[in-house]
Structure 1
Amino acid sequence: MDEMGIQEAREFLEQNPDINSIDLMIGDINGVIRGKRIPRDSLLKAYEEGICLPASLFALDINGNTIEETGLGLDQGEADRLCYPVAGTLSRTPWQDRPCGQVLMSMYENNQAPFIYDPRHVLQRVLDRFAELKLTPVVAVETEFYVVDRERDELQQLQPPVSPVTGKRDAQCQVYSLSDLDDHCDFIEAIHEAAQAQRLPVDTAIAECAPGQFEINLKHRSNAMQACDEAVLLKRLIKGVAARHQMDATFMAKPYNQEAGSGTHIHVSLLDEQGNNVFKGETDDPLGSNILKHAIAGTLALMPESMVVFAPNANSYRRFQPGFYVPMSQTWGADNRTVAVRIPGGSDEARRLEHRVAGADANPYLLMASILAGIHYGITQRLTPPAPVVGNGYASHPPSLPSSWIQALEQWQRNELLPEYLGREFCRVYHANRYGERLLFMRHVSPQEFDWYLRSV
């Protein structure tokens, strides 16, 4: 029983007498929010006793099908586990028509031990390794997304929304365009207002390089778990606000054939016990300290093993195409956006690495766990990275990362290092879940196949 959490719930109910229902939310392996809606009178009981949800929640594919090969479904009799609210995540949902609240949950065994298939516990397992080194990761999450019209075009394809300012459909976009932000200023402002109401540290909003594509950044946190919680909550918030503006928000990695995909960039630095950034260089070296170089080397070393986390589904791999500014090889460099791991410019006090491979569809907890696992491995093994890339990394380094779903899944089965961090049993279930979804996906015949093959073969 979390006394601080119970007090948080009591204060929330007192301060929000108009709220009649609360969504109890838990993210599955895909990062999809699932859970229950309860009346306000049941909130304190949820904090005190937990709520029951089936363990098979972590066997679900993107469509909610139970992948039985995980062993979490019928093999366990669809047994329940206990879920408890996550302190600090209880808030109103200001985009909904009726007064409503929400809170994140995490799953535990009936003896209160962490349920090892819950991605929050997978991340905690990695964070515990840093605690042993007396180091604290400081992280920030940047996520790109598209807003799209709710109506498809005449070919039943996605299309950008109509500009509230010009009345015309967006046909082009210029990266960092203030005009594009102006066109959707009501939507962006509504995101900031809702984020403020939910205490989410939203920082900047950027118009990206395709019509209807934006990036919303969260401020850095010295609590990596909290940062991932906030990333999950922000995604739900963006979708909710978009719906209020008669649009859909999508975090698909590649919603359009001829436009850029959407990614998730993770910034990481490390603090010692005195609060010093250990990535800071001893000199004015823009590449930082030796510890930073070890961290970079480890991140690159575990990159192929982590690919099915960075790109978890069929659509994820549409994003990895030449000409769309997506890293496809194990590269790094100083202030270079053509590499997989970038060392941003700026003051030495803020020295950090930026991981640029993952799609917007990646599960934030598993993404963070995989990146931090690489950093930990590089530091503890004192690895040395290859020479940094200068200039166009796309031109100088051919693709070396797994470029298809099946290649990434086959690599996952060969993994040796990452399972030591994420847990071998979790990795088994993750593979079964992703492989099972792939089998289901491959059974479907696409319209493209009719166009290409129906009369030609």
Structure 2
Amino acid sequence: MDNPHAVTTSPSGSTPAEGKAFLDAHPEIEAFDIVLTDANGIGRGKIVRRHELMGIFENGRHLPISILGLDITGEDVHETGLVWDTGDGDLRAWPIPGTLVPLFGTNPPRGQVLMSMHHLDGEPMTSDPRLVLARQVELLAARGLHPAGAFELEFFLLSNERDADGKVQPARAVLDGRRSAKTEVYSVDHLHGMEPLFSDIYAAAKAQGIPAETVISEYAPGQYELTLNYRKDVMRAADDLVMLKRLVRAQARRHGVTACFMAKPIEAYAGSGMHFHVSLQDDAGRNVFTEAAGEKWSPKLLNALGGLIHTMAESMLVFAPHANSWRRFVSQSYAPVAASWGVNNRSVALRVPAGDAKNRRIEHRPSGVDANPYLIAATVLAGIVKGLDEALDPGPETTGNGYEQAPEKSTMPADWRAAIEAARGSDFLKSALGPDLHRTFVAIKQAEYLRVARTVSELDYHLYLHEV
């Protein structure tokens, strides 16, 4: 499969013409970030010089296969089978069409292009998260269905310095240095203090073709949300989120603050989610979740909800992939604590937003902002297909306070370790991610769990040093 003399036609659909046109249009750009997204959603790659770009569009770029088998710290996870089992050989990464963009505010000027990993003969590398989502999109297309969607990005802007107790703290306003310790949810005046930063974020998004829209002061000091316009192409929606996180982090750093994408950085306040809005269109462009005249809900919408509810427990490792992810699931925190659905209700896991029937969609709310959008989308789409194929019933709609109605004995994993074991034994998740990425992802999470479990923390000393 990995013949070093294989042909060099791009399997991603990129063309040298795209690279040349970009270089002609941007003579000022001197270098490029080439970015491959790993299982944790982290961008891995290189900065290359301007003269190297055309070679990447013509022949791809060799990168070690082990890049896709790294843990959150960048250490090899040998159990993935992607390190010494393969001799840590090179595969070939290719540019993703439409992701070659200028980076705003860099000096000297730089660009960026997202990459996908392929074997040397052009076959997809099945531990590449983006290609796993591509496979789910292709399976749906064979059924005459086309997923559309958008992600929401919640995050904190934090000071680069800790407080007197060593805790993180909200950043001072970049406009005038004012610090707020209040929640200030939906405060427009509070947003004004970060206006220079958000102006640069919007400028960077425009330069990259990312449809960033509304910014909100969210439900914690220093927490914000950026929304993205709905895309007819769910793959592009996931690319939007990956690119937006990178540019928010970069622009925050330039303004002297830290953009934090942990799911729960401050224990006393709400965590940060990555809500995923999704619908399906048929070949004629009709939304199959739209109810017909006289129907309360489309049967396909209900079956899709049923599939997502039936597969949620075994999929939670995708939606909450880190130790910190599980601190987000707290009652009355706008993070769901049960596999439930409801209409215009933010206390449930699956929300059907109010609005025009032609725009009917599902808002999938379990995922934290620390999750990988490609894996979220792939798993959600697979759950929807299971619901459609098996005509699964979502159960009764949750009305009112969903936290009060959560079952005492939940089928959901209780913690990170339980989620790892549920994912390890899940035939559904193995099918949704493919056996290769399923093995890779679970092995990475197990390695990270063991790293956390054997670490003696400051909390250990606080609880036990003078007590036992």
In structure 2, how many angstroms separate the alpha carbons of the residues matched to 1:125 and 1:167?
48
Specify the alignment match of 1:356 in structure 2.
365
1:437 is the counterpart of 2:448: yes
In structure 1, how many angstroms separate the alpha carbons of the residues matched to 2:227 and 2:287?
21
Specify the alignment match of 2:152 in structure 1.
142
Q: For residue 363 of structure 2, what is the amino acid of its counterpart?
A: E
**Per the alignment, in what secondary structure is the counterpart of residue 268 of structure 1?**
strand
Q: For residue 123 of structure 2, what is the amino acid of its counterpart?
A: A
In structure 2, how many angstroms separate the alpha carbons of the residues matched to 1:288 and 1:43?
50
TM-score, normalised via structure 1 length: 0.97
In structure 2, how many angstroms separate the alpha carbons of the residues matched to 1:230 and 1:221?
9
1:288 is the counterpart of 2:297: yes
Q: For residue 396 of structure 1, what is the amino acid of its counterpart?
A: Q
Distance 1:200 1:113, change over 3 A: same
Specify the alignment match of 1:425 in structure 2.
436
C-alpha contact 2:130 2:374 (8 A) present in aligned 1: yes
Mapping 1:332-343, distance limit 5 Å:
332-343=341-352
In structure 1, how many angstroms separate the alpha carbons of the residues matched to 2:431 and 2:455?
35
In structure 1, how many angstroms separate the alpha carbons of the residues matched to 2:125 and 2:14?
22
Specify the alignment match of 1:415 in structure 2.
426
Which deviations, in whole Å up to 9, do the C-alpha atoms of 1:179-227 show, x marking residues without a partner? 1211211111211111001110112111101111111111111111111
C-alpha contact 2:151 2:275 (8 A) present in aligned 1: yes
In structure 2, how many angstroms separate the alpha carbons of the residues matched to 1:118 and 1:432?
15
Which deviations, in whole Å up to 9, do the C-alpha atoms of 1:28-49 show, x marking residues without a partner? 1100011011111110100111
Q: For residue 307 of structure 1, what is the amino acid of its counterpart?
A: M
Specify the alignment match of 1:313 in structure 2.
322
In structure 2, how many angstroms separate the alpha carbons of the residues matched to 1:325 and 1:16?
44
C-alpha contact 2:188 2:217 (8 A) present in aligned 1: yes
TM-score, normalised via structure 2 length: 0.95
**4+ runs of 1 displaced by more than 4 Å?**
none
- Give, in angstroms, the shift of residue 145 of structure 1: 0.4
C-alpha contact 1:172 1:210 (8 A) present in aligned 2: yes
In structure 1, how many angstroms separate the alpha carbons of the residues matched to 2:78 and 2:55?
32
- Give, in angstroms, the shift of residue 400 of structure 1: 3.8
C-alpha contact 2:34 2:48 (8 A) present in aligned 1: yes
In structure 2, how many angstroms separate the alpha carbons of the residues matched to 1:56 and 1:25?
15
C-alpha contact 1:141 1:265 (8 A) present in aligned 2: yes
C-alpha contact 1:173 1:180 (8 A) present in aligned 2: no
- Give, in angstroms, the shift of residue 413 of structure 1: 1.8
In structure 2, how many angstroms separate the alpha carbons of the residues matched to 1:193 and 1:47?
27
- Give, in angstroms, the shift of residue 123 of structure 1: 0.7
Specify the alignment match of 1:245 in structure 2.
255
Specify the alignment match of 1:77 in structure 2.
87
In structure 2, how many angstroms separate the alpha carbons of the residues matched to 1:422 and 1:257?
32
C-alpha contact 1:25 1:102 (8 A) present in aligned 2: yes
C-alpha contact 1:316 1:361 (8 A) present in aligned 2: yes
C-alpha contact 2:56 2:94 (8 A) present in aligned 1: yes
Which deviations, in whole Å up to 9, do the C-alpha atoms of 1:371-410 show, x marking residues without a partner? 1111111011111110000100100113542131100011
Specify the alignment match of 1:123 in structure 2.
133
- Could you tell me which runs of 5 or more consecutive residues in structure 2 were left unpaired when the two chains were aligned: 1-8
In structure 2, how many angstroms separate the alpha carbons of the residues matched to 1:238 and 1:315?
21
Distance 1:407 1:341, change over 3 A: same
In structure 2, how many angstroms separate the alpha carbons of the residues matched to 1:54 and 1:353?
38
In structure 1, how many angstroms separate the alpha carbons of the residues matched to 2:256 and 2:155?
16
C-alpha contact 1:67 1:437 (8 A) present in aligned 2: no
C-alpha contact 1:284 1:348 (8 A) present in aligned 2: no
C-alpha contact 1:96 1:240 (8 A) present in aligned 2: no
In structure 2, how many angstroms separate the alpha carbons of the residues matched to 1:164 and 1:140?
29
1:368 is the counterpart of 2:377: yes
Which deviations, in whole Å up to 9, do the C-alpha atoms of 1:289-308 show, x marking residues without a partner? 01100000001111111100
C-alpha contact 1:280 1:288 (8 A) present in aligned 2: yes
**Per the alignment, in what secondary structure is the counterpart of residue 93 of structure 2?**
strand
Q: For residue 141 of structure 2, what is the amino acid of its counterpart?
A: A
In structure 2, how many angstroms separate the alpha carbons of the residues matched to 1:389 and 1:88?
41
1:299 is the counterpart of 2:311: no
Stretch moving more, 265-274 or 4-13: 4-13
Specify the alignment match of 1:392 in structure 2.
401
Which deviations, in whole Å up to 9, do the C-alpha atoms of 1:341-382 show, x marking residues without a partner? 000001011111100000000001001101111111101111
Alignment RMSD? 1.3
Specify the alignment match of 1:328 in structure 2.
337
Stretch moving more, 188-197 or 416-425: 416-425
Mapping 1:5-84, distance limit 5 Å:
5-84=15-94
Distance 1:246 1:284, change over 3 A: farther
In structure 1, how many angstroms separate the alpha carbons of the residues matched to 2:222 and 2:313?
31
In structure 2, how many angstroms separate the alpha carbons of the residues matched to 1:16 and 1:128?
34
Q: For residue 390 of structure 1, what is the amino acid of its counterpart?
A: T
- Give, in angstroms, the shift of residue 121 of structure 1: 1.0
- Could you tell me which runs of 5 or more consecutive residues in structure 1 were left unpaired when the two chains were aligned: none
- Give, in angstroms, the shift of residue 166 of structure 1: 5.5
In structure 1, how many angstroms separate the alpha carbons of the residues matched to 2:350 and 2:39?
25
**Per the alignment, in what secondary structure is the counterpart of residue 427 of structure 2?**
coil
Q: For residue 443 of structure 1, what is the amino acid of its counterpart?
A: R
Q: For residue 313 of structure 2, what is the amino acid of its counterpart?
A: P
Stretch moving more, 118-127 or 91-100: 91-100
- Give, in angstroms, the shift of residue 8 of structure 1: 1.4
- Give, in angstroms, the shift of residue 168 of structure 1: 2.7
Work out the percentage of aligned pairs sharing the same amino acid: 41
Specify the alignment match of 1:93 in structure 2.
103
Q: For residue 297 of structure 2, what is the amino acid of its counterpart?
A: G
C-alpha contact 2:175 2:195 (8 A) present in aligned 1: no
Stretch moving more, 267-276 or 396-405: 396-405
1:172 is the counterpart of 2:153: no
In structure 1, how many angstroms separate the alpha carbons of the residues matched to 2:249 and 2:242?
11
